[in-house]
Amino acid sequence: MKKVFMLLVAAVMTISLFAQDSTTKKASIGFRVSYLDFKKTNQTEGLSTGVPAIGLQYFKGISPRIDFMANVDFASIKYPYYTSLKVPAAKSNQTYAALDLNVNYKLATDDKKLVPFVTAGIGVGADHFSYYTAYAPVGAGLQIKAKYGSFVNIMSTYRAEASSLTKMHYSHSISYTLPIKGRDKKAIELPPAPIKVDGDDDGVADGDDACPNQKGIAKYRGCPIPDTDNDGINDEQDQCPSTEGMAKYNGCPIPDTDRDGINDEQDKCPTAKGLGRYEGCPIPDSDKDGVNDEEDKCPTIAGISANKGCADLQPLVNAATAQLKFATGSNQLSKRQTNPLNTLVQLLKDNPTITLVINGHTDNIGSLKINDRLSLSRAKVVMSYLVKKGVDPKRLTAKGFAFSMPIADNKLSKGRALNRRVEIAVQY
Q: Looking at the domain covering 314-427, what would its CATH class be?
A: alpha beta
Which range is least confidently modeled, 217-226, 388-397, 404-413?
Answer: 217-226
**pLDDT value of position 84:** 78
- pLDDT tens for 249-290 read 999 999 999 898 999 988 989 999 989 888 899 999 898 888
- pLDDT tens for 62-104 read 999 999 999 999 999 888 888 777 787 778 888 999 999 999 9
What's the per-residue H, E or C state across the chain? Answer: CHHHHHHHHHHHHHHHHCCCCCCCCCCEEEEEEEEEEECCCCCCCCCCEEEEEEEEEEEEEEECCEEEEEEEEEEEECCCCCHHHCCCCCCCCEEEEEEEEEEEEECCCCCCCEEEEEEEEEEEEEECCCEEEEEEEEEEEEEEECHHHCEEEEEEEEEEECCCCCCCEEEEEEEEEEECCCCCCCCCCCCCCCCCCCCCCCCCCCCCCCCCCCCCEHHHCCECCCCCCCCCCCCCCCCCCCCCCEHHHCCECCCCCCCCCCCCCCCCCCCCCCCHHHCCCCCCCCCCCCCCCCCCCCCCCCCCHHHCCCCCCHHHHHHHCCCCECCCCCCCCCHHHHHHHHHHHHHHHHCCCCEEEEEECCCCCCCHHHHHHHHHHHHHHHHHHHHHCCCCHHHEEEEECCCCCCCCCCCCHHHHHHHCEEEEEEEC
Residues of the chain with CATH 2.40.160.20: 15-179
**pLDDT value of position 46:** 42
Instruction: Give the pLDDT band (50/70/90) at residue 186.
Output: low
| Average pLDDT over every residue of 368-386 | 97
Q: Looking at the domain covering 15-179, what would its CATH class be?
A: mainly beta
Residues of the chain with CATH 3.30.1330.60: 314-427
- What global pTM score does this model have? 0.41
- pLDDT tens for 18-37 read 444 557 888 999 999 999 99
